[in-house]
Structure 1
């Protein structure tokens, strides 16, 4: 509590400073200059106690402090502060009266402050320790639960790792098995294709012959044989039929497949067609629809070996690659595809799609 007082007696010193701010004890009502107390700001709240009352309250069992506080100053009427008369101890002379200085008051206040601060610090330490223990207990429980969770996750991870290793091993085995199976399938596919091609060793394929209703395919084959000067007996022709197109949307008519009695008859007819076409000077004079008496636009007729679908695809890819690299010749012999870049170079046999890379 702080107030500004007029003329009155002060409990701290002999100075009469009416305009000075002070602290008034809540118990004894005595006033103290802030300067004498060593304070710069007055105490608010109305609960301030002077050194005497504070020491008596907090340290009633402290003989030294009680003795000092009993020596509270009394202000005389002439404004001179003197030490009060001490109590006379047993078998001791009466103590002499002495003046209480400002340093004495400061020392008393300092001791009280230290005592109060000590109690406050002790209480704060105890409260802090209790709070920390409570918080740490919860944190300890959480850490324990976390450790258990981590252990569980570690076990799960180890199990997952073992399963993963087993899966990787199984995948490697399956990959190797798949590679072997693919190699086997490729080999078997090649053998099946070879056997299928061998089954067509006596067949030829007539391409680009227009389709008509009620057409006689046997007469068409006989006419072609006569044109190329390769007489074939009817008994040498086993079967004549049109086959489905690879591309149903294509504009070219369906091809005619002719099966002869032997590969020799087929080879003889192919050689005759080749000789006939070479004897003509212009492409228009080569074998065409007008040569066999078909009443339609003049279109070329191609006589080739009857290839399997895979060999047809290989032949088409080889022709395209040869055209890009300016190869002069691409031909088929006994179901195999050959290419040659020029007359003075060696031929290249194209066995499969991987062999296309040889055409450079």
Structure 2
């Protein structure tokens, strides 16, 4: 047989009730106008010394004695019992706080008594609301923390992006400056190269290059040049020649003999010698200057006399000669 609540006609189930320390009456904590939070926070010592409203109303009162026990059969003022933890109050600190007396009819009290329950919808809503608030607070705290982290990351990325933009602009300006400087250097190099080539060619103004003359270990190049002068009717003495020697081949794989470099004392003599070769070849188109004219036995092989050109000029001369031959054919 279940024990009934002294404050309502419903039975008491579970452990959510208060027991008076002076009488055997038991009360739902909701019938005492207490919340679940208050009931849970009560200490065991407080619950063991708790006095119900009925027993408390029987005590002699020093002041107003208008309190009545909690009963469901008779009209009674609404009672709100506010209990606090034993950490803040001692065993005798059971204070019963009462709201203003509200007059209700016997019928209303009876209906209220019959509808009283240990777990009302309001209590359920309050519990659910508290749990949802706790959960929501946790979720919102996590979201806020993540948003703060994201905001800091975005701020860092934005500052880095701005710095990158500044660096890019600086690099663009530097690149333009380097391009202008490179163009100036290229033009200067081209100009210097042309001037150097002119100076190098000018330094060869007294030189002639004689090609395809057979090589001989016992050859005397000065005698060969003098013999060539007699052939073209341009008398040359040994004192007219400042320098005479064989020069290295541009292409080591070539089978042609090394050319002879002749440096005359002055440019006028060189030009006279070159003009004599050109006139000789012009007057003897069928028997142009060859090895037989220089006293070499065997097959006749042509001998060429030209200005001593720089490597760049030689390449240009060869390209133009090849192009001319292509045009003729």
Q: TM-score, normalised by structure 2?
A: 0.59
How far the C-alpha of 1:254 sits from its partner, in A, is 1.7
Secondary structure of 1:163's partner? helix
C-alpha distance in 1 between matches for 2:219 and 2:125: 121
C-alpha distance in 1 between matches for 2:193 and 2:225: 33
CA change 1:212–1:119 in 2 (3 A) is farther
Partner of 2:208: 204
The equivalences for 1:178-197 within 5 A come to 178-197=182-201
Partner of 1:31: none
C-alpha distance in 1 between matches for 2:123 and 2:181: 84
**Higher fraction of strand:** 1
Secondary structure of 1:307's partner? coil
The equivalences for 1:254-265 within 5 A come to 254-265=258-269
Partner of 2:97: none
CA change 1:269–1:130 in 2 (3 A) is same
2:214 pairs with 1:214: no
Of residues 209, 223, 237, the one that matches 2:241 is: 237
Secondary structure of 1:241's partner? strand
Secondary structure of 2:195's partner? helix
Q: Which runs of 5+ in 2 are unaligned?
A: 3-9, 17-27, 32-72, 76-105, 107-119
* Cα deviations by residue, 1:304-360 (Å, 9 ceiling, x for unpaired): 000112211222233334444x169xxxxxxxxxxxxxxxxxxxxxxxxxxxxxxxx
The equivalences for 1:52-201 within 5 A come to 127-201=131-205
Secondary structure of 1:226's partner? helix
* Cα deviations by residue, 1:58-95 (Å, 9 ceiling, x for unpaired): 9x98xxxxxxxxxxxxxxxxxxxxxxxxxx999x9xxx
How far the C-alpha of 1:246 sits from its partner, in A, is 1.9
CA change 1:257–1:135 in 2 (3 A) is same
The Cα RMSD (Å) is: 3.8
Partner of 2:309: 307
Partner of 1:289: 291
2:244 pairs with 1:270: no
Partner of 2:99: none
CA change 1:148–1:327 in 2 (3 A) is farther
C-alpha distance in 2 between matches for 1:308 and 1:206: 15
C-alpha distance in 1 between matches for 2:233 and 2:308: 21
CA change 1:124–1:253 in 2 (3 A) is farther
C-alpha distance in 1 between matches for 2:222 and 2:312: 28
Number of aligned residue pairs: 234
* Cα deviations by residue, 1:208-228 (Å, 9 ceiling, x for unpaired): 222221211111111222222
* Cα deviations by residue, 1:126-158 (Å, 9 ceiling, x for unpaired): 545543432232122122112112212222222
